[in-house]
A = this chain, B = another copy of it.
Amino acid sequence: MSISGKNLIAGEWSGDTEGGFTAINAVENKPMGVRFADATEQEVETAILQANQAFDSYHLISAKKRAQFLRTIGEEIIALGDELVDMATAETGLPVMRIEGERGRTVGQLGLFADLLESGEYQGVIDHADANRQPLPKPDTRLGYLPLGVVGVFAASNFPLAFSTAGGDTASALAAGCPVVMKAHAAHPGTAELVAQAISRAISKCELHPGVFSLLQGKNYGIATQVVTHPLVKAVGFTGSERVGMILQKQINERPEPIPFYGELGSINPQFILPSKLANQASETAQALVASLMMGQGQFCTSPGIWVYIDGEGSEEFEAAVINAISDTQAGVMLTPSIAHDYKETIEHWQSLPKVSLLAQGQPSKAHFCSAAVFATDFETFKKTPALSEEVFGASALVVRVANLDEMLAFIQLMKGNLTASVHANDADLPLSQSIVARLVHKVGRVIYNQMPTGVEVCASMNHGGPFPASTDVRTTSVGSEAIKRFQRPICYQNMPHALLPELLRE
């Protein structure tokens, strides 16, 4: 199979790759061979118009057929074999095992939504007529769900498969009955094209309208603007930085018609280590935190970025174990040169902050690799230093030593919205855990006990989202089966003859 470098516009590969851009081989830090075409204004327009055309037929196919389409995408992704793994590892620098795991998750996600469709869930509510009701008869009313229409999706740099071309947003939008116009991430365009090839084959095999899925390549920001402001685009899914997310949110706010924007933005995922846990399992907890921090070189939205403990028994052991574990870590390649650059700049800046100490640093390596870093400070300094509340994208964490429970609660009070937070505690910590969890729930989308925040389960009870700025719509999740609801809306059928009802609402 070959990479064309082109855009997939409703079944046609198009675009002029000469003026385009190349991917970077992350490990080698060198441009890769193929050039990719920036999608033109006309191509974006065609993709959206064709998606809207496709909506007419796509949203009417049976849930069973839609499930079959999702499973076929999964099969076609698996059929890409090693070429996909090789491409994704080259473009992102992520190790083979991680990419293989992520591929499994991506296919699993597609299967989860297929299961959901086949189970007939979310079919609605039926309230029968009651001619004798007083003071007025009750009409027959039935609540169903309709897909919103064309969905624009933006791929994430850090999950080239699970949050990209056929990732969670695409899977849930397609499951809901919405065609997808996907903006690939410029950090892994080859991976995106391969997966788009797989989707395109699934569309052919299932005999669907080719407008159901388009892939836009590009480094030009105008593409994003055109997608999110287009009148036919009815919802947008995005995973990325708060900075870019807020630019898109602002553009969406200027639309005449408000549409939902599902931005999954940054998160620092605070970790609270309670006194008995600290006194009894300091080293073990420190090692587990470092292992979680090092996953994907810290480039996870659920990476544990702040570790808060009450100074006391176990403190020294904890910090010694952190220093030990971090000092042993190897430097690693980052997803993109610009992420590496930003990471290094931040680490340098933090080293210049008053009363913030560099507790430990990982092994150095090649110039474009990054080493882990753990800083430490006290609560007073944390309060006075806004930079310390910002997400550092990479394997950096901050230890905040608080004096007592009150300071820990004050820390929670200061917290912005996060995707997750963990409480690390023993039975003896239960009363404290209770005070902490009671406050923490209002700041996060997922609260975790004695487990690490990395590794997001894909299931019906998952919530991956959180109060702003963790996400732009706290009422929704981007992971798990509830994600489908983001792309549906209710509709009531009143007094409708059976022949005019959707199948799921008939008796």
A residues apposed to B, CB below 8 Å? 101, 104, 124-127, 135-136, 138-139, 141-143, 146, 148-149, 249, 253, 257-258, 260-261, 430, 433-434, 437, 441-442, 444-451, 455, 457, 459-463, 465, 468-469, 472-477, 482, 485, 488-497, 499-500
| 28 A–B contacts, CB within 8 A, in A order | A101-B135, A104-B135, A124-B461, A125-B460, A125-B461, A127-B459, A127-B460, A127-B461, A138-B457, A139-B451, A139-B457, A142-B461, A143-B482, A258-B261, A430-B497, A434-B499, A434-B500, A437-B496, A446-B491, A446-B492, A447-B491, A448-B494, A449-B495, A449-B500, A451-B494, A462-B492, A475-B485, A475-B489
Assembly CA distance A215 to B473 (angstroms):
28
- CB neighbours (8 Å) of A463 from chain B are 143, 490-492
* CB of A250 to closest CB in B, whole Å: 8
- CB neighbours (8 Å) of A489 from chain B are 474-475
Chain A contact residues: helix, strand, loop or mixed: mixed
Closest to A438 in B: B60
Closest to A135 in B: B101
Assembly CA distance A499 to B444 (angstroms):
19
* CB of A221 to closest CB in B, whole Å: 21
Assembly CA distance A444 to B496 (angstroms):
15
- CB neighbours (8 Å) of A447 from chain B are 491-494, 496
Which 10 pairs of residues, A with B, have the shortest CB-CB distance? A463-B492, A253-B253, A143-B461, A446-B492, A125-B461, A448-B494, A127-B461, A141-B461, A463-B490, A257-B468
- CB neighbours (8 Å) of A465 from chain B are 490
Assembly CA distance A442 to B126 (angstroms):
20
- CB neighbours (8 Å) of A124 from chain B are 461
- CB neighbours (8 Å) of A148 from chain B are 474-475
Assembly CA distance A433 to B498 (angstroms):
12
* CB of A240 to closest CB in B, whole Å: 16
Report whether A445 and B492 are in contact in the complex, using a CB–CB cutoff of 8 Å.
yes
Specify which of B136, B260, B450, B477 is in contact with A455 (CB 8 Å cutoff): B136
* CB of A278 to closest CB in B, whole Å: 18
9 additional contacts, CB 8 Å, given A143-B462, A433-B500?
A125-B460, A143-B461, A149-B442, A260-B475, A437-B500, A446-B491, A446-B492, A449-B494, A462-B492
